[in-house]
Amino acid sequence: MVRFCKIASAFVLTVVVLSSCATVSQKGRPYYDFQAMGEENVIVVTIDASKEQELVQAAFSDLEEFARRSRRVSLALKPTSDAYPLEADAISAYGVVEGDYPKFLINTGMMYAKELERKGNKDGLTWFSQKSGPVSLYTPKNDKLLFTNGSYEESYSSFAAKNRLIDDQTAMQMAQSSIAVYSLHPETFFDLGLGLPDTVIKQAKSMLLLINADDAGSYTLDAYITMDTAKLASTLSQMVRTAYIARLKREKIPYKIADLMKMFLIEDDRVTIKHMELGEEQMEALRHSLTGML
């Protein structure tokens, strides 16, 4: 899949180690690159690299310094199949890695990578592609590396347009989370460890999942899922609540019904889940999915 870090090779590490650049904060209305990724049937994932260093390092494997200098990893995952759960080899994807990556040095390093070849179009757009693989990548501006296993031109067009397909309020919630996942009218989804059947996924209008860790390293989920009908929302809430109670009983974790009433809320066709603790099994399923897709 899009294991671009493997084809980035040691040249990226070399130029990053030899460089350092300051980050200048932008004034005014914040914009996040993942906002342009929110098209229908696309799964948007954004990871705060400072909060999830182990996850990012696992994805970048041999490029520890590259991972250390990253601040955020954002992915637009477009399924090429409606099979559920979504597998890593059934995705057309592009991603943006934000970090301390000087444009000139990174792109110069790629010029000398034997496994890459330089390409361009009549409009003057330049990028590098694998000679024997699907991945294309380039640093279009300082501190941002764009990569894809599809058309680089299309990916760059989406990146450069800066369309706010994900509204500012939702984007802010995503940016403040350790891991955030968003999808508008999803047809399939990767394994979240929540036991959701594909029928639920296909009947969702939108899904927003916000995952955060506390000081002790325990993870909680805030989810906002809008279904096609109020009846489906009620069914979804019951399914997730039943599965959650079953896990608590299995792991002999005490709970109070009053607390569950506050955790699972329904308003018309929208289900809200607040501060639901995620077990290690669920987090492992999520980590496995994300690292495989990177």
Query: Rounded to an integer, what distance in angstroms lies between the CA atom of residue 49 and that of residue 143?
Result: 14
Structure token digits, residue 163: 């369309």
SS3 label, residue 66: helix
Percent of the chain whose predicted confidence (pLDDT) is above 70? 88
Q: Enumerate residues 6+ apart whose C-beta is below 8 A from 116.
A: 7, 110, 128, 129, 130, 131
- Could you tell me the two tokens for 89? 């080899």
Q: What is the pLDDT of residues 164-202, one digit of tens each?
A: 999 999 999 999 999 999 999 999 998 776 777 888 889
Provide the pLDDT for residue 27.
59
Task: For residues 29-37, give the mean pLDDT.
Answer: 96
CA distance 118 to 239: 51
3-state percent breakdown (helix, strand, coil) of the chain, nearest 5: 35, 30, 35
State the pLDDT confidence band at 63, using cuts at 50, 70 and 90. Answer: low
Banded pLDDT at 10 (limits 50, 70, 90): very low
Per-residue pLDDT band for 9 (boundaries 50, 70, 90) equals: very low
Q: Which residue matches tokens 């764009």?
A: 146
53-60 and 280-293 helices, crossing angle to 10°? 40
> CA torsion sign, 75 to 78 to 79 to 82?
positive
Would you say the C-alpha torsion 222, 228, 230, 231 has a positive or negative sign? Answer: negative
- Give the predicted TM-score (pTM) of the model: 0.89
Residues 276-293 pLDDT 10s: 998 888 888 888 777 777
Our measurement of the distance from residue 68's CA atom to the centroid of its chain's CA atoms, rounded to an integer in Å, reads 18
pLDDT of the residue at 17: 43
Core vs surface per residue 29-54: b (16+ CB within 10 A) or e: eeebbbbbbbbeebbbbbbbbebbee
Question: Tens digits of per-residue pLDDT, 146-166?
Answer: 999 999 999 999 999 999 999
**What span, in angstroms and rounded, lies between the C-alpha atoms of 208 and 210?**
7
Q: Where are the alpha helices (DSSP H) in the chain?
A: 4-17, 53-60, 64-68, 103-111, 152-161, 168-175, 198-202, 230-250, 257-263, 280-293
Helix axes 103-111, 4-17, angle to 10 degrees: 120
Task: Measure the CA–CA gap between 79 and 88, rounded to whole angstroms.
Answer: 9
Residue 205 pLDDT level (bands cut at 50, 70, 90): very high
For residue 165, what pLDDT is reported?
A: 98
